[in-house]
Amino acid sequence: MLLPSILQPLAGGRPVLTAPAAGPLTVASLLDAVTGGYPVLGRRLRDETGALRRFVNIYVDGDEVRRLHGLDTEVAPGQEVLIIQSVAGG
């Protein structure tokens, strides 16, 4: 999972977080796995109900997960997941 530079300090400065997977994961379970040790990072991405924050976009193989199956979108072992903040604010 690739983090934007603004979030990397919340992951110990790491630009990429990985999770071991024997088979396919969902985006939600991948988030659980990679943010387990970084709870503040987890709260930046999802609110306390588990919902993805409105202006956080997650891409799996180039597709934004809201156009797929949201946080239930499958991630295969080896697949790259990209987190990007959307264009918002003024």
What does each C-alpha distance from 65 to 11, 12, 46, 62, 90 come to in angstroms? 22, 26, 14, 9, 25
Nearer to other proteins, 5 or 23 (CB): 5
Question: Of the two residues 38 and 79, which places its CB atom closer to other proteins in the complex?
Answer: 38
CB of 17 to other proteins, least distance (A): 16
Least distance in angstroms from the C-beta of 15 to other proteins: 17
Q: In the complex, what is the shortest distance from the CB of residue 30 to other proteins, in angstroms, rounded to a whole number?
A: 19
| Closer residue to other proteins in complex, CB, 42/79 | 42
CB 37 within 8 A of CB 70: no
